[in-house]
């Protein structure tokens, strides 16, 4: 019986490895299936059919060794993957074990405090380090400048000292807090400011608006909650609630226990699904289309955004109206602490940048054309965006910081 117990224990370990390699978020189903197969094999063993247990064990050993070998290859030769598959394998943009996020009932994914790990996207590697307060850059007791926004502010694809807030701090000599986070909208920027930025007592707040803010507002909150948000004053303490997909799981949830506590954080986790999706869409796992350097096209600049069109139905315009309401709430919070609000954007498409300027001026905030300046420099053949990506390069971040410093200095 001792030998059977050892085989069973070994099988549990092998299933753990296999399930971890199969999926970061849904691996608990694979783990449960593996345990069920083990239970059936043990019953068969008790009835004299020992080959079932031995066969299961050796099959699991082969699968686990394959996963371990693939994992070793991804660490030793990370360049073997490209495109979407590499993004899935090497990213830290997730809330499962090994990721940089946790889930919040009001903001959805928020950065975990005190996390350090290598990050990857579209061929770019960088080091992510969040401080004890859960934002990138040095931990500050007081920040004269606070930066809000998504990945353009966070510094996707570049080191922390190459992002816009750090470039602004070097240029002006003031302490600047980077509260940017990838994949968020103005609603979540507002919550980040209330949770972390107000306590830093800034004299100026910079808010970056991005074209994806429209889809992200709808993704995280849904139509009904966005309509409710338009009636809320978040500054006065009433907060929106994210959709169930991004809501924290209960402590006893098998999905949460697996994803956050039990799964091994493997790079190979989930890449088979990514390979399948890439092949269906005609992209090889060894590489996708590359445009180097990245330069926005005329189509990018003139692209339409229905959510910004007053002629569109209210349902279509709702996500943008929610972002505009969040912008007004940021301005309200700034006024309460005596801070100036400066709004900027990516500089394109034209429909967005014009709408952002109007929205900023409507709430009494300053507007900076920093993104437009970067766009113009790119179209004059300066390398200001990351290759095959579209986020600001260190050179682009320096240009943005220079423009923001100019706007801030001009304010009495």
My answer on whether omega of the bond before 293 falls inside 30° of 0, hence cis, is yes
The CA distance from 8 to 81, in Å, is 35
Domain edges within the chain = 2-76, 90-410
Q: What is the pTM of this model?
A: 0.93
The CA distance from 145 to 339, in Å, is 9
The residues near 40 (Cβ < 8 Å, ≥ 6 apart) are: 52
Q: What dotted CATH number matches 90-410?
A: 3.40.50.1110
Q: How many other C-beta atoms are found inside a 10 Å radius of the C-beta of residue 235?
A: 19
The two structure tokens encoding residue 269: 């986790």
Q: How many other C-beta atoms are found inside a 10 Å radius of the C-beta of residue 252?
A: 7
Q: Which residues are registered as beta bridge partners of 367?
A: 343
Write b or e for each residue in 334-343: b if 16 or more Cβ atoms lie within 10 A of its Cβ, otherwise e. Answer: beeeebbbbb
Tens digit of each residue's pLDDT, the chain (412 residues):
778 899 899 999 999 999 999 998 889 999 999 999 999 999 999 898 999 999 999 999 999 999 999 999 999 999 899 888 999 999 999 999 999 999 999 999 999 999 999 999 999 999 999 999 999 999 999 999 999 999 999 999 999 999 999 999 999 999 999 999 999 999 999 999 999 999 999 999 999 999 999 999 999 999 999 999 999 899 888 999 999 999 998 888 998 999 999 999 999 997 877 776 766 666 655 454 555 789 999 999 999 999 999 999 999 999 999 999 999 999 999 999 999 999 999 999 999 999 999 999 999 999 999 999 999 999 999 999 999 899 999 999 999 999 999 986 655 5
The CA distance from 24 to 257, in Å, is 11
């Amino acid at each position: 019986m001792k030998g059977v117990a050892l085989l069973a224990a070994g099988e549990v370990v092998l299933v753990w490895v296999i399930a971890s390699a199969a999926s970061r978020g849904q691996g608990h189903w694979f783990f449960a299936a593996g345990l069920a197969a083990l239970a059936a094999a043990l019953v068969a063993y008790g009835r004299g059919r020992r080959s079932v247990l031995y066969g299961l064990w050796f099959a699991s050993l082969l699968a686990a060794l394959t996963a371990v070998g693939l994992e070793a290859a991804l660490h030793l030769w990370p360049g073997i993957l490209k495109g979407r598959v590499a993004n899935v394998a090497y990213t830290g943009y997730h809330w499962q074990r090994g990721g940089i996020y946790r889930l919040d009932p009001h903001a959805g994914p928020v950065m975990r405090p005190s996390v350090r790990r290598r990050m990857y996207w579209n061929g770019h590697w960088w080091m992510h380090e969040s401080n004890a307060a859960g934002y990138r850059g040095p931990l500050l007791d007081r920040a004269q400048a606070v930066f809000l926004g998504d990945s353009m502010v966070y510094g996707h694809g570049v080191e922390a000292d190459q992002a816009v807030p750090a470039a602004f701090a070097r240029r002006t000599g003031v302490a600047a807090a980077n509260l940017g986070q990838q994949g968020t909208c103005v609603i979540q920027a507002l919550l980040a400011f209330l949770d972390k930025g107000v306590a830093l007592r800034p004299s100026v707040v910079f808010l970056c608006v991005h074209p994806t803010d429209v889809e992200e507002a709808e993704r995280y909150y849904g139509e009904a909650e966005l309509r409710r948000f338009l009636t809320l004053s978040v500054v006065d303490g009433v907060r929106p609630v994210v959709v169930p997909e991004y809501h924290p799981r209960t402590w006893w949830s098998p999905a949460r226990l697996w994803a956050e506590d039990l799964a091994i954080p493997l790079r190979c986790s989930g890449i088979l699904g990514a390979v399948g999706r890439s092949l269906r869409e005609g992209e090889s796992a060894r590489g996708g289309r590359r445009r180097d350097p990245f330069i926005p096209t005329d189509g990018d600049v003139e692209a339409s955004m229905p959510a910004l069109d007053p002629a569109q139905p209210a349902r279509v315009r709702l996500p943008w109206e929610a972002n505009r309401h969040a912008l007004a709430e940021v301005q309200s919070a700034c006024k309460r602490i005596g801070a100036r609000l400066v709004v900027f954007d990516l500089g394109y498409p034209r429909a967005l940048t014009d709408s952002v300027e109007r929205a900023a001026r409507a709430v009494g905030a300053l507007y900076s054309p920093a993104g437009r300046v970067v766009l113009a420099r790119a179209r004059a053949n300066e390398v200001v965006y990351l290759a095959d990506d579209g986020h600001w390069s260190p050179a682009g971040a320096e240009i943005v910081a220079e423009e923001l410093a100019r706007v801030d200095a001009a304010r009495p």
